[in-house]
Amino acid sequence: MRKKLKQSFIDQLEGIVGSKNFSTNEIDRIVYSRDASVAEGVPEAVVWPESVDEISQLLFLANKERVPVVPRGAGPSLSGGPVPLRGGIVIDLSRMKKIISFNEKDLQIHVEAGCVITQINNFLLKQGMFFPPDPASQDVCTIGGAISTNAGGMRAVKYGVTDRWVQALKIVLPTGEKTWIGTKTRKSVSGYNLAKLIIGSEGTLAVVVEAILSVYFVPETRRMIKAFFNDFESAGQATFQIMSKGLNPSIMEFLDEYTLGAISKYTGANYCRGKAMLLIEVDGSRDEVERKLPKIEKTLKENKGFEIEVAADDEENLKLYSARKAAYPALASLSLTCDVEDATVPVSRLPEMLKSIERISKKYGVYIGTFGHVGDGNIHPNLLYDERKKNEREKVEKAINELFETAIKLGGTLTGEHGIGKAKSNFMKLEHSPESLQLMKSIKKAIDPNNILNPGKMGLM
Amino acid sequence: MSGLTHEMRFHLKDLEEDILKCSRCGFCRASCPVFEVKLNESWNARGRILLIRNLMEEKIGISEEFINRIYSCTLCKACEVTCPTGVKTEDILLRTRKLMAKENLLPEQFREMTKVIMETGNIYGKRMGLPEQLKFKNKEDRGNLVFIGCVAAYGYPEHAENFLQILKRVKYKFYTLEEERCCGGIMKSIGLEEEFSRWVKRNLGRIETCKPKKIISICPMCSHTLKEYVNKATYPFEVVHEVEVLRDLIESKKIKLKKKLDLKVSYFDPCHLGRYLQVFETPRRILSLIPGIEVIELGRNKQFSRCCGGPIRSIFPEIRDKLSDSIFQDAEEKGVDLLVTSCPTCYHNLYASSVSFDLEVIDLAELVAMSMGIKEKT
């Protein structure tokens, strides 16, 4: 057990960031003890640095004193990633939110880590550009958080997840050194790809303080299509075929019967048909979209899709998009607690995964509403229960275990976009070989020998 | 630091289900105006709810900082708009404040303000007679009572006068009370429920004696407070806000908007008129009917509108300043000539900020009066 922070350490910390950016008050510490997961851990101090130098000095000091440091963005995370399990200091990067520069020639934007994705997009939209990764929390999540968790979103099916759009990162190492990693060029095979190592490392290796991101042109047009299915196999087959025919949708979402019922109740519009709905978006030039739409429609029909409807205009697009966005609130309104998982499988194994979810729901008597990004095999089973009831918690825990085991058996992964954090720490062994886990631990040890950065996460140390 | 009394422990438990509905996703960070200023979780809806949860679970007590965070919320309801799980933050905070206020655990300034209202009838702390130009006698039963409210009556009588002069010009029958008193909404927001109940009952008693058919209030907080209470206690009159009357009179051509004003304006939605009473389109409709007015929406508008900071100005003046500054910054970026609102309290707070910007704030009724030719364009 580590000793409490020494007063001299606290004084030095306050000296680095200034009293208005520092607190050891219980009220400020308590609110940084949680994210959107069940993980809990109260920090001993919270700091809101305003410069890279402050973070560097702070890490140098913490490393010297062996004090845990947990970087945090907006904390919408579902994995416990930013929860300080071993106390120490939380670095809230929210106050470092400057857009430093925009390079329209190279289509790159340089931002501080505390910038919110929507803030970046509001800036870019004025130039006709956008940053494509669109996690559901994009209105609040910081780019630093998105990088640390390699966040995805609905449009990842076409545009990929965060790492595809990160050129270079300014990081502070646990020992306090500052450095840029990555490149501003489109191609580079110069040395190890350190930026890719840091992306998705959940603040266990370095604190991301600035980023140079690639951005892209806003597509000329977007159109949505919906179709209902009477069984998961048909919906899964349609998904698989649309993807394998290279139709490259920008959104490819699945919603199961239970979720559709919840959305209908929540929005007042009736989406209750069959067993499932697919919601697909294509974007690009008008020509490209017009060319793809009939091919998608045909594929849906061939796979027993019914009530296939192409949105006629932006208003209808928005209606369908909003229905999908209502999935989580609609399910959450049905019970006190809603646990969102994100096991991911190869697209070809989706029908099996979906059937297994149904089986697991029945086996444990837990309501599960499933929706998600089927185009990349990333689905979100939402487990509904009352967290106050021990027996319900236990049933949910067992169901989640089996969900993970099933995904791994099908060649999948524990998490498509939420991250490991604390929540899935114990399951790392399921997915990774002892050798690869050892390799991860060796990397961690090499970069953070004193294990001060976000300890207790990702099944590392 | 105070621990929980038996009564608080007992009643906090009633909040459990509402508190646990918060999934801690933090989507309120996108809308909470106070968080936008402080950028510290404990000044955000998610943080406040987590603090109340920790209090309920007796992991923390009630410290001065706890009181600050609970009372730093402006109750603007913006967080409820972006909350995906439908957490009723305003209700949770009101109920928590009620419990705290019972134990006298509230900021001294609020206790003092309530005392002042009780003694003088208004928030200005001295008994005042209604300015002569706002006095209109009751000549009939079941008439239209204009409830001016204390801010408009004593702080900005010229706003009330504009509205009353418009009504007079179109021969709309109405009368005013002999003395304007606070509607009591502030007491309710502080958590002094018993004081509020007694006060609003007394107010409505006064109102009932002149048997109105309709109450037209100038201040949105008065509208909401009276409407909520009137509905609850089934009084035989309806409550509307002045913009609803203006819109009806303009649409029925009783008010003739003749003068072209040639102005670009943004409309700022007061929380009580907008998110509380869901009146968003009416003021915009009025503006659209004034010749020469071009409305450019603020970046944050309607459901997503910021708050002027009025409810916390006495305890956190620096936050209030930043809140109203941010509204002006938004308007300035839009390149408008004027910022329009329809709430005397918002006007008061925005006016304080206007000195730092090359932009002025104006009450909507004044624009109507200008276009009618009652008031000169300044």
Is B41 at the interface with chain A, CB within 8 A?
yes
Indicate whether B223 and B121 sit together in one domain.
Answer: yes
Give chain A positions within 8 Å (CB) of B24.
Answer: 34-36, 75
CA nearest B43 in A: which residue? A28
Indicate whether B121 and B179 sit together in one domain.
Answer: yes
Tens of pLDDT, residues A58-98: 999 999 999 999 999 999 999 999 999 999 999 999 999 99
Indicate whether B87 and B127 sit together in one domain.
Answer: no
- Secondary structure of A125-178 as H, E, C letters: HCCCEECCCCCCCCCCCEHHHHHHCCCCCCCHHHHCCHHHHEEEEEEECCCCCE
- Smallest Cβ distance to A27: which of B46, B63, B86? B63
Q: Does the pLDDT of residue B234 top 80, yes or no?
A: no
For residue B328, being part of any structural domain is answered with: yes
DSSP string, A249-305: -SEEEEEEHHHHHHHHHHHSS----SSEEEEEEEEESHHHHHHHHHHHHHHHHHTT-
- Which of B105, B137, B166 delimits the end of a domain? B105
> What pLDDT score was predicted for residue B343?
97
Indicate whether B196 and B282 sit together in one domain.
Answer: no
How close A144 gets to chain B, by Cα (Å)?
16
Q: Given pLDDT bands bounded at 50, 70 and 90, which one contains residue B96?
A: very high
**ipTM of the prediction:** 0.95
Q: Where residue B85 sits, what CATH number does that domain have? A: 1.10.1060.10
Q: Given pLDDT bands bounded at 50, 70 and 90, which one contains residue B206?
A: confident
Q: Given pLDDT bands bounded at 50, 70 and 90, which one contains residue A1?
A: low
For residue B274, being part of any structural domain is answered with: yes
> What pLDDT score was predicted for residue B235?
77
For residue B126, being part of any structural domain is answered with: yes
SS3 B166: helix
Tens of pLDDT, residues B27-49: 999 999 999 999 999 999 999 99
Indicate whether B134 and B220 sit together in one domain.
Answer: yes
H or E segment to which residue B223 belongs:
helix B220-233
Phi, psi values for residue A340, rounded to 5°: -100, 120
Q: Does the pLDDT of residue A2 top 70, yes or no?
A: no
Q: Where residue B225 sits, what CATH number does that domain have? A: 3.40.50
Indicate whether B274 and B204 sit together in one domain.
Answer: no
Interval B11-18 mean pLDDT = 94
For residue B1, being part of any structural domain is answered with: no
Structure tokens at B239: 């409550």
Indicate whether B28 and B121 sit together in one domain.
Answer: no
Give chain B positions within 8 Å (CB) of A92.
Answer: 39-41
For residue B273, being part of any structural domain is answered with: yes
Q: Where residue B318 sits, what CATH number does that domain have? A: 3.40.50.11810
Give chain A positions within 8 Å (CB) of B63.
Answer: 26-27
Contact call for B40 and A92, based on CB within 8 A: yes
SS3 A366: coil
pTM: 0.95
Domain count within chain B: 3
Tens of pLDDT, residues B106-148: 999 999 999 999 999 999 888 888 899 999 987 777 799 999 9
Indicate whether B118 and B217 sit together in one domain.
Answer: yes
Indicate whether B156 and B284 sit together in one domain.
Answer: no
| Parent domain of B154 | 111-247
How many residues comprise chain B?
378
- Which of B105, B128, B161 delimits the end of a domain? B105
> What pLDDT score was predicted for residue B378?
65
For residue B378, being part of any structural domain is answered with: no
Indicate whether B94 and B171 sit together in one domain.
Answer: no
Indicate whether B270 and B364 sit together in one domain.
Answer: yes
Calpha distance A159→A282 (Å, rounded): 12
Indicate whether B262 and B335 sit together in one domain.
Answer: yes
Is B51 at the interface with chain A, CB within 8 A?
yes
For residue B243, being part of any structural domain is answered with: yes
For residue B277, being part of any structural domain is answered with: yes
- Which of B222, B247, B272 delimits the end of a domain? B247
Tens of pLDDT, residues A127-154: 999 999 999 999 999 999 999 999 999 9
- Smallest Cβ distance to A329: which of B63, B66, B84? B84
CA nearest A331 in B: which residue? B85
